[in-house]
Copies of this chain bind each other. A is one copy, B any other.
Amino acid sequence: MKIAQVAPLYEAVPPRLYGGTERVVAHLANALVAEGHDVTLFASADTQTSARLVPCRDQALRLDPAPLKSDLACHLSMLHDVSRRRDEFDVIHFHTDLLHFPLFEEMAGRTLTTLHGRLDLKDLPEAYRRWHRYPLVSISQHQRTPLPFANWFATVHHGMDIPAVTPGDGGYLAFLGRISPEKGPERAIAIARRAGLPLRIAAKVDSADREYFEGCVKPLLDDPLIEFIGEINDAEKGRFLADAKALLFPVDWPEPFGLVMIEAMASGTPVIAWRCGSVPEVIDHGVTGLIVDNEDDAVAAIRVAETLDRARIRTVYEQRFSARVMARRYLTLYEQLLAATVPAAATAQRAANHG
């Protein structure tokens, strides 16, 4: 099958450091190639992929030191490129929220749009009512809550291709991701203190969250139990997670998916996660982790987490959240789209019309 993947230009594919959407696109594109498909990836030039790369910006936006840039202009230019080549692909898979909606209306049935972010924004219902022909993929069932009427086609949980790591036990709890109120670093610190266990925090601090970090989190780092180690890369993550007793995921927002949960599972590490957003869909309670409602439960869950079978956690990851599982799920969807929409002859005619 000839498949186009269209990634955002905010981070490289995969991102050098923090970044969710572009990471998933990286693993999806490689896994589709591994399944024998002809995959073209529209992304920034600093991308690493086994697919055919169409570089759409000299480098990804976030780490580009240029002081004045336009994320809108470069994304529009990329979509224009995709549009000019629309007839080369059987299916075009967008990861660009809704920016492409005005451009591909007459071929919406041959596209798939995976929504990666939270959807409880004031202006979204109006837009998703207008563009109701684009088949949409949610990354959890819960993500759909604010837009139940949208044109949902399927839910596909994220998958990643992560090598196994020998389980270890550094005797600490782990917090991994981004420092921000909705990710709950203060809760993680409170839980570790009450449990009397070390907590290692590997996290990015965005400039938008600098004030929160300085005011609310930094004063809590004085405790000898708590260690802040900054942002880490993929090579460091496996060991960091495998050596932890458990990953704390004390989120306080409608988490659309939570990639770090499957990164922990891939290392065989149980997750102690708040009942929130996608969590009950991702964690098998009592198998890959514990779902909790408050700090008391979270502290108690640490002892239970230590009894969970780490090899089994890895197996569940492989069965449910590997890149291959995700890619095969998407392939089924692409085939459904093609069966429902365009016979081959129509493709040729379309090519003639647009040629």
Contact = CB atoms under 8 A, between A and B. Distances in A.
Interface in A105-138: 118, 120-124, 126-127, 130-131
A329 B150 CA distance: 45
A136 B74 CA distance: 19
Given A79-B102, A102-B102, A127 B68 contact: no
Given A76-B98, A77-B126, 11 more contacts: A57-B123, A70-B121, A73-B98, A73-B126, A73-B127, A74-B126, A76-B99, A76-B101, A76-B102, A80-B102, A102-B102
Interface string A76-92: 11011001000000000
Contacts of A103: 102
Interface string A46-77: 00000000000100000010101111111011
A79 B76 CA distance: 15
A277 B124 CA distance: 38
20 contacts: A57-B123, A64-B122, A68-B120, A68-B121, A68-B122, A69-B122, A69-B123, A70-B121, A70-B124, A70-B127, A71-B123, A72-B72, A72-B98, A73-B121, A73-B126, A74-B127, A76-B99, A77-B127, A80-B102, A80-B131
Chain A: number of interface residues, binned into ranges: 20 to 34
Given A102-B102, A103-B102, A123 B80 contact: no
Nearest to A80: B130
A227 B228 CA distance: 44
Interface in A291-318: none
Nearest to A56: B126
Nearest to A83: B102
A293 to B, nearest CB: 24
Contact of A66 (B97, B122, B127, B130): B122
Contacts of A102: 76, 79-80, 83, 102-103
Given A102-B102, A102-B103, A123 B70 contact: yes
Interface string A140-158: 0000000000000000000
Contacts of A121: 68-70, 73
Contacts of A66: 122
A242 to B, nearest CB: 36
A21 to B, nearest CB: 16
A68 B98 CA distance: 16
Contacts of A79: 102
Nearest to A125: B73
- Which of A71, A73, A80, A126 gathers the greatest number of chain B CB atoms within 10 Å? A73
A145 to B, nearest CB: 14
A289 to B, nearest CB: 29
- Which of A77, A79, A120 gathers the greatest number of chain B CB atoms within 10 Å? A77
Nearest to A97: B72
Contacts of A57: 123
B70 A122 contact: yes
- Which of A66, A72, A99 gathers the greatest number of chain B CB atoms within 10 Å? A72
Nearest to A102: B103
B76 A127 contact: yes
A209 to B, nearest CB: 14
Contacts of A77: 123, 126-127, 130
Contacts of A97: 72
